[in-house]
Structure 1
Amino acid sequence: MSKNPHYTLLLALNLLLLLILPTSIFAGIPEEVTEYKGKVVNTSGSPLASAYLTVNETNISTVTNNEGVFSLKIPDNLQNVTVTVSYLGYQSRTLSLDFFKAEEVVIELQESPEELSEVQIFTYTDPRSVVSNMLKYRGKNYFEDPTTMTAFYRETIKRGRKNVSLSEAVVTIHKEPYNSAPDDDIALVKARKTADYDRLDTLALKLRGGPYNPLSLDIMKNPEYMFGDEGLSNFKFSFDSPTRINDRYLYVVNFEELDKSLPWYYGKLFVDAENFVLVKASFNLNVDNRSAASDLFVKKKPGGTKVYPVDVHYDVQYRERNGRWYFGYGITKLEFVVNWKRRLFNSRYKVDSELAVTNWKINTDGKVKKDKTFLNERVVMADDISGFADPQFWGENNIIEPDKSIENAIEKIRKNLQED
């Protein structure tokens, strides 16, 4: 089967550098914006990670971080808008902008109460047919025009609980129509990255592909990455309990790859019961075959080491606007073990790579001409330490609010800069 070529790791003992190219996705004078912060939780107070906040009647959106915290920047000329907060399996809430002006904003979402198994719209008894229709109607259900998207990318590499590398970037995604063959392109708008390998006495583990990793989770644009040349025939499907998001009822289809000679996929597809839109996918790659998994992910390593993944998880979510759907958010979570020769204990690294679309517009300018801001699909995101000293670094751009562990890492970097 075909495995995604972007999920590879580069282990090296040297650092690469990348210049910041501060441009604007939408050329013109920067807009005046107001930033609103808060937290999304369930009724028991637990945070809801990756909850969506959408500014209605616009293309502006963001997602919460692992602690349920969000930051949403809204242009000052949109002060009469409302914001919808949604999360799979919960009742959405639509709130006025005044709600977000409080000092401590906490948005509580309630679980959907319906007994969904009794809803008449669930008429299919064969899960394979649901998935087949999902793929069949992708040209009808998803964007049919070239689209220019603004997105925020974050990449973290941890050894144990310590952040050893942190990359963040605002990028432009040049998204091709969903029923077309050309690959999507990514251009850099603004970026910062740092790694403190000397102080943390660790290996310089690097992720190849950068923002192309979560973008290539877009199953509806690149179904061959998941299903390969053999299509659905190499998968077993079954129904799980249905669910809902907003007012949409969703089939939940479990899938599992049949050929287990190589690393194999398994997970869940959340498919709209009315029009067969894939709303979300959550899946893993089984990497019990260490040798094959190492060959798939690790492209370079120091001598005297054995490196292999022990956990590989992916999530992708889609958003809707005017009846058409598009890639909204993707995240890859990888955990690796590094065994050193003649060392008693191994090292464990966690590599997270996430990409959230925060704004978009239909491309009416024709074919995009590539320039030096465009990223190669094999890019290794590089270092710019100075950006972390500036709390206003992102300006008007919407970003994913950093977790506390990332905030602590940034604060440490700032202190190191002051000491130097």
Structure 2
Amino acid sequence: MNNAPIFFCRKLSFLIVFFTFVQVSWGLSTGDEHSLFQVSEYKGKVVNSSGDPINSAYLAVEGTNISTVTNSDGYFSLKIPADMQEVSVTVSHLGYRSRTLPLEFFKSENVVIELQETMEELSEVSILSYTDPRAVVENMLKNRGNNYFEDRATMTAFYRETIKRGRKNVSLSEAVVTIHKTPYNSMSDDDIALVKARKTADYDRLDTVALKLRGGPYNPLSIDLMKNPTYIFGQDELERFEFSFDQPTKINDRYLYVVNFKEEDQGMPWYYGKLYIDARSFTLVKASFNLNVDNRSAATDLFVKKKPGGTKVYPVEVHYDIQYRERDGRWYYGYGNTNLEFVVNWKRRLFNSRYKVSSELAVTDWKINTEGKVKKDNTFLSNRVVMADDISGFADVGFWGENNIIEPDKSIENAIDKIRKRLEEN
């Protein structure tokens, strides 16, 4: 079966939402509850020079493929095998100077890691010699086969999906998954298998309407632009876009071109955003982009596949982020995040409701797959999956075992506590 997303005017329309009247059903958590080996967990916070938290800062254990990212409050949890005591951890984020710290540093209480902004003036650097931004993007696409993995890889990743109504968290799904990543020079689809999962929801705040996101972990994985460049633009389609240079930047001692892009045909939903491209190798290191959804009718057809009668449902904001990681001169998918905001208008209600849906996928470990294509079993997910309602995992302190996860935001933790108490009272 082909797991490619469903297309509408060549847009990334895999993010499909269902608005249905609530029918509560409880599922079961998945996966072995016992840790495979002893691990040590280290927690802390990453901030900038002003003390503000840094979201999605990357922490990587040197000499391994173990990593994690910070949450929106800057907090992290990093689990490392107990027999790794002499390692160092590198902390990095785009626009900041990286820091490499010995593991001993993380054994203190209330660890706070401060990253300094990169203040270097980059416009005079000779390596940034290109004057045509389209030529930089052309080289990015042309060098895709040389810059990214040519091998199959087996990745462990953490997935989180949150739904908010207004400012309140109303639903949270989390999962540890295995990504069977095909080579970047292959047209074959990536597969995802479920290791552990849990979900809970506050249906009182969902206002009798349950918003469900189809695709689950496939959503942030599918924005891997270097695996699927034609999802937005291919080598022969660049004439559909307008390109311009933004102020260049630097990450991990790499000078990056920052290229703005936007589609010229703006009749239908259209893309615009930024590409962060390595100045030496023309590797896409990061992309941040949006889908303009001012054409309400077309945007509704693109994203909303089911809704209750008497309502109008349409997206008002669609945003994507993708980050790549480097290992031994080759790059691979490291982190993806999709954010959608929807409005629900009821015919007989004075005020509308706003829902925000966020799904993120962070690769926390990986290895080259030398065994070839993996035979699918019942743990493999369909790209049409909707995360089932499940509360059992939230009561189990050791649920995640040795797996690295993204620390829950404080607001999410509070929402979970309230939901759990309500369920226990009932």
TM-score range, shorter chain: over 0.9
- The equivalent of 2:112 in structure 1 is 106
Point out the more displaced range, 44-53 or 193-202: 193-202
What amino acid is the match of 1:5?
A: S
- Is 1:231 aligned to residue 242 of structure 2? no
Aligned-partner Cα distance in 2 for 1:299–1:113: 47
What amino acid is the match of 1:193?
A: K
- The equivalent of 2:218 in structure 1 is 212
Per-residue CA deviations over 1:106-141 (Å, capped at 9, x if unaligned) read: 000001121100111011111011111111111110
Point out the more displaced range, 198-207 or 73-82: 198-207
Aligned-partner Cα distance in 1 for 2:206–2:384: 26
- The equivalent of 2:37 in structure 1 is 31
- The equivalent of 2:3 in structure 1 is none
SS, match of residue 309 in structure 1: strand
- The equivalent of 2:390 in structure 1 is 384
- Is 1:411 aligned to residue 420 of structure 2? no
Q: CA deviation at 1:283?
A: 0.5
- The equivalent of 1:5 in structure 2 is 13
Residues 35 and 402, structure 2, Cα contact 8 Å, conserved in 1:
no
- Is 1:20 aligned to residue 41 of structure 2? no
Residues 15 and 204, structure 1, Cα contact 8 Å, conserved in 2:
no
Residues 45 and 75, structure 2, Cα contact 8 Å, conserved in 1:
yes
Distance 1:291 1:200, change over 3 A: closer
Aligned-partner Cα distance in 2 for 1:15–1:140: 49
- Quick one: which of 189, 201, 204 aligns to 1:183? 189
Distance 1:171 1:299, change over 3 A: same
Aligned-partner Cα distance in 2 for 1:253–1:378: 33
Residues 194 and 382, structure 1, Cα contact 8 Å, conserved in 2:
no
- Quick one: which of 153, 157, 168 aligns to 2:159? 153
- The equivalent of 1:129 in structure 2 is 135
What amino acid is the match of 2:159?
A: Y
Cα RMSD (Å)? 1.5
- The equivalent of 2:5 in structure 1 is none
Structure 2 gaps of 5+ residues are: 1-8
Aligned-partner Cα distance in 1 for 2:309–2:297: 16
User: How many pairs does the alignment contain?
Assistant: 417
- Is 1:259 aligned to residue 268 of structure 2? no
Q: CA deviation at 1:230?
A: 5.6
Residues 165 and 206, structure 2, Cα contact 8 Å, conserved in 1:
no
- The equivalent of 1:244 in structure 2 is 250
Q: CA deviation at 1:19?
A: 4.2
- The equivalent of 2:94 in structure 1 is 88
What amino acid is the match of 2:331?
A: W
Q: CA deviation at 1:262?
A: 0.8
Aligned-partner Cα distance in 2 for 1:246–1:4: 30
Point out the more displaced range, 82-91 or 112-121: 112-121
SS, match of residue 106 in structure 2: helix
Aligned-partner Cα distance in 2 for 1:330–1:360: 16
Distance 1:74 1:34, change over 3 A: same
- Is 1:342 aligned to residue 345 of structure 2? no
Q: CA deviation at 1:225?
A: 1.1
Distance 1:209 1:167, change over 3 A: same
Q: CA deviation at 1:411?
A: 1.0
Aligned-partner Cα distance in 1 for 2:259–2:133: 6
What amino acid is the match of 1:21?
A: T
- The equivalent of 2:302 in structure 1 is 296
Aligned-partner Cα distance in 2 for 1:268–1:198: 39
Residues 2 and 227, structure 1, Cα contact 8 Å, conserved in 2:
no
Aligned-partner Cα distance in 2 for 1:199–1:86: 37
- The equivalent of 1:369 in structure 2 is 375
Q: CA deviation at 1:317?
A: 0.3
Residues 276 and 286, structure 2, Cα contact 8 Å, conserved in 1:
yes
- The equivalent of 1:322 in structure 2 is 328
- Quick one: which of 274, 278, 290 aligns to 1:272? 278
What amino acid is the match of 1:64?
A: T
Aligned-partner Cα distance in 2 for 1:229–1:207: 31
Structure 1 gaps of 5+ residues are: none
Aligned-partner Cα distance in 2 for 1:48–1:245: 15
Normalised by the length of structure 1, the TM-score is 0.97
Q: CA deviation at 1:150?
A: 0.3
Per-residue CA deviations over 1:30-88 (Å, capped at 9, x if unaligned) read: 12111100000010001110000000000000000001110100111111100000010
Residues 153 and 211, structure 1, Cα contact 8 Å, conserved in 2:
yes
SS, match of residue 118 in structure 1: coil
SS, match of residue 232 in structure 2: helix
Aligned-partner Cα distance in 1 for 2:169–2:234: 35
Q: CA deviation at 1:280?
A: 0.3
- The equivalent of 2:103 in structure 1 is 97
Per-residue CA deviations over 1:238-267 (Å, capped at 9, x if unaligned) read: 000000001100000000011111100000
Q: CA deviation at 1:233?
A: 1.4
Aligned-partner Cα distance in 2 for 1:23–1:226: 39
Aligned-partner Cα distance in 2 for 1:77–1:182: 37
Moved over 6 A (4+): none
Residues 149 and 173, structure 1, Cα contact 8 Å, conserved in 2:
yes
Q: CA deviation at 1:18?
A: 4.9
Q: CA deviation at 1:196?
A: 2.3
